[in-house]
């Protein structure tokens, strides 16, 4: 084993848990998102009764098609305020890795059956 | 053999066979025998969703840094639900006519202890002190919190998941209106600052609340818990 590989081992070992623990977008969605966005992704989650702003309906192709993938990534990672939307959408950047958020963006596109602008 | 002699022998044999029944059961023994099925007493917290989904009750391996002893003694004798949608809300919801609702049929009552056992268990729980490093530097400065409620409800949106009075607020997190009498202040300060440090996969996000505002939130929660909600429960 050459010296560079040996030197990198501690870093690789440190990264291993996070790499191993990457969760699927569907599992993440059905653990974290459905509390507000609903079991069916329609914005009708168990938490919404007393909310002042209703969560986004992820099955709404028109509304979801109006957001770019970058905007959706940003709002998941940094929260609603980052795109001038509700504070009730929290920042999930300490919960998901960037890769998991990218996967969630793709997953949301399957829920809305839509693309940005179309 | 007369009746008196028979009863004396029976009593003696019973004591020999089951000494704890008369000495009062040790708190750690109760935890191990009756609580460990649903509660993690040794750690660590789940680090995968699969492990998270299997959790049946709150982790207790840091209970001594989390709960107030007096609350534990009272609650263990008369347990009432703290999380409106159970430990993991997804296991206890169903589609409703307007929005998802709690499926009450899936929620089970917590076991109830007598006073002696409740005190023994509370004492034992206070010895479970994992994550002391997370609370070591946390100190609440008690002060009025005039905008604490606004922070909780509007600025940070905590009410989306937590109830601020019985029947008002979100369902997926533990009720907020009892947090102040249930939880130690340093724990609340630390948990709001970084929930994932305590519970890496928990569905409470880190909202990056500045330290001064966390002080306001915790002072608000403590004041809130002093209100009498008995008429609303």
pLDDT of B18 over the 90 cut: no
Q: Please give the pLDDT value at position B230.
A: 80
* DSSP secondary structure letters along A68-91: -HHHHHHHHHH-GGGGT--TTS--
Let me know if residue A1 belongs to a domain.
Answer: no
Candidates B205, B206, B204, B209; CA nearest to B220 is B209
For B202-228, the pLDDT digits (tens) are 999 999 999 999 999 999 999 999 999
Of the two residues B115 and A7, the one the predictor is more confident about is: B115
- Cβ-count burial of A104 within 10 angstroms (0-12 exposed, 13-18 middle, 19+ buried)? buried
Residue of chain B nearest A27, judged by CA positions: B49
Let me know if residue A89 belongs to a domain.
Answer: yes
Q: Please give the pLDDT value at position B25.
A: 74
CB count in 10 Å sphere of residue B109 = 8
pLDDT of B111 over the 80 cut: yes
Q: Which residue range forms the structural domain that includes residue A72?
A: 24-112
Whole-angstrom Cα distance, residue A33 to residue A43?
A: 10
As a whole number, mean pLDDT of residues A6-25 equals: 58
For A59-103, the pLDDT digits (tens) are 999 999 999 999 999 999 999 999 999 999 999 999 999 999 999
Q: Please give the pLDDT value at position A7.
A: 55
For B161-194, the pLDDT digits (tens) are 999 999 999 999 999 999 999 999 999 999 999 9
Let me know if residue A18 belongs to a domain.
Answer: no
Let me know if residue A49 belongs to a domain.
Answer: yes
Q: What is the CATH number of the domain that holds A90?
A: 1.10.760.10
Q: Please give the pLDDT value at position A6.
A: 47
Let me know if residue A19 belongs to a domain.
Answer: no
The shortest C-alpha distance from B96 to chain A (Å) reads 9
Q: Please give the pLDDT value at position B4.
A: 54
Let me know if residue A117 belongs to a domain.
Answer: no
The percentage of residues in chain A with a pLDDT greater than 70, rounded to a whole number, is 82
Mutation target to probe the A interface, by most A beta carbons within 10 A, among B85, B168, B170, B194 is B170
* A 23-52: CB under 8 A from B: 23, 27-28, 30-32, 34-36, 38-40, 44-51
Q: Please give the pLDDT value at position A27.
A: 98
pLDDT of B41 over the 60 cut: yes
Nearest neighbour of B207 by CB, restricted to A21, A35, A91: A91
As a whole number, mean pLDDT of residues A14-36 equals: 81
pLDDT band, very low/low/confident/very high, at B12 (cuts 50, 70, 90): very low
pLDDT of B9 over the 60 cut: no
Q: Please give the pLDDT value at position B2.
A: 55
Number of domains in chain A: 1
Give the list of residues 6+ apart from residue A94 with CB closer than 8 angstroms, or none: B194, B196, B205, B206, B208
Let me know if residue A80 belongs to a domain.
Answer: yes
Q: What is the mean pLDDT of chain B?
A: 91
Q: Please give the pLDDT value at position A117.
A: 87
Let me know if residue A9 belongs to a domain.
Answer: no
pLDDT band, very low/low/confident/very high, at B5 (cuts 50, 70, 90): very low
Q: What is the mean pLDDT of chain A?
A: 89
pLDDT of A111 over the 50 cut: yes
């Amino acid at each position: 084993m050459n010296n560079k590989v040996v030197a990198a081992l501690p870093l690789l070992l440190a990264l291993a848990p996070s790499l191993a623990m990457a969760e699927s977008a569907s599992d993440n969605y059905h653990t974290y998102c459905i509390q507000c966005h609903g079991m069916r992704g329609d914005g009708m989650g168990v938490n919404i009764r007393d909310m002042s702003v209703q969560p986004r309906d992820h099955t709404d192709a028109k509304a979801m098609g109006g957001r770019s993938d970058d905007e959706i990534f940003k709002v998941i990672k940094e929260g609603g305020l980052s795109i001038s939307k509700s504070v009730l959408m929290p920042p999930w950047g300490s919960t998901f890795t960037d890769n998991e958020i990218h996967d969630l963006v793709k997953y949301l596109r399957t829920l809305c059956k839509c693309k940005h602008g179309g | 053999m007369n009746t008196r002699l028979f009863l004396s022998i029976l009593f003696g044999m019973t004591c020999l066979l089951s000494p704890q029944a008369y000495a009062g059961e040790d708190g750690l023994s109760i935890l191990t025998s009756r609580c460990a099925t649903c509660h993690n007493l040794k750690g660590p917290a789940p680090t995968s969703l699969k492990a998270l989904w299997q959790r049946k009750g709150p982790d207790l391996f840091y209970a001594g840094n989390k709960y107030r002893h007096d609350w534990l003694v009272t609650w263990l004798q008369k347990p009432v639900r703290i999380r409106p949608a159970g430990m993991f809300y997804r296991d206890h919801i169903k589609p409703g006519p307007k929005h998802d609702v709690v499926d009450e049929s899936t929620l089970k009552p917590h076991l109830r202890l007598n006073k002696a056992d409740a005190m023994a268990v509370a004492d034992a729980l206070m010895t479970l002190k994992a994550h002391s490093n997370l609370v070591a530097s946390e100190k609440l400065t008690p002060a009025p919190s005039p905008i604490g409620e606004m922070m909780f409800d509007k600025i940070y949106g905590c009410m989306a998941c937590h109830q601020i009075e019985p029947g008002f607020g979100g369902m997926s997190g533990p009720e907020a209106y009892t947090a102040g009498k249930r939880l130690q202040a340093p724990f609340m300060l630390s948990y709001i600052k970084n929930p994932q440090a305590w519970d890496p996969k928990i569905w409470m996000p880190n909202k990056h609340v500045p330290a001064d505002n966390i002080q306001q939130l915790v002072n608000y929660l403590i004041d809130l818990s002093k209100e009498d909600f008995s008429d609303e429960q």
